Amino acid sequence: MLTVFQNSFFSPKAWQLPNFYVYEPIFKNSFFPERLAQQLSGINAAIFFSTSIFTEAGLDEHAAQSATLGMGAMNVAMTVISLILIEKAGRKTLMITGLVIMLLTTVMLLICLLVAVSTFERSEARFFLAYR
């Protein structure tokens, strides 16, 4: 009778998890850096709040929704292009290249904001806005 149940659904071996799921640390997962880079880039917040961001930037409601739709379409198009590029250049190369470009554009944005603030502080507009 025991030999009948050895290879069946009721045997203890049928309920064991594979070892690579139980003992695999999260940092050995090959997708961990990509997920971390996506979260740290802020793109999820930009997509989630895009309609209100476009509305606060001065677009009316319809134009803000159209801009959000365009942003989503661009996201899908770039995903398709990145799938093609991953096959040719490799995942690691694309990830490092993208992160370097993000770093450079963030530094350029910081420089532009510092120049704009220093120009604003020297102009007469700050006195007008301060006493408004």
Consecutive 10-residue averages of pLDDT for the chain (132 residues): 50 53 52 68 83 91 94 92 88 85 92 83 61 54
Structural domain range at position 120 = 91-132
56 plus 46 within the same structural domain: yes
Amino acid at 25: P
Structure confidence at residue 32 (pLDDT): 65
39 plus 58 within the same structural domain: yes
Task: Output the pTM of the full model.
Answer: 0.51
Number of compact structural domains in the chain: 2
**Nearest partner of 98 among 82, 77, 121, judged by Cα:** 82
CA atoms within 13 A on the CB side of 120: 10
102 plus 56 within the same structural domain: no
129 Cα distance to chain centroid:
36
Structure confidence at residue 1 (pLDDT): 47
66 plus 109 within the same structural domain: no
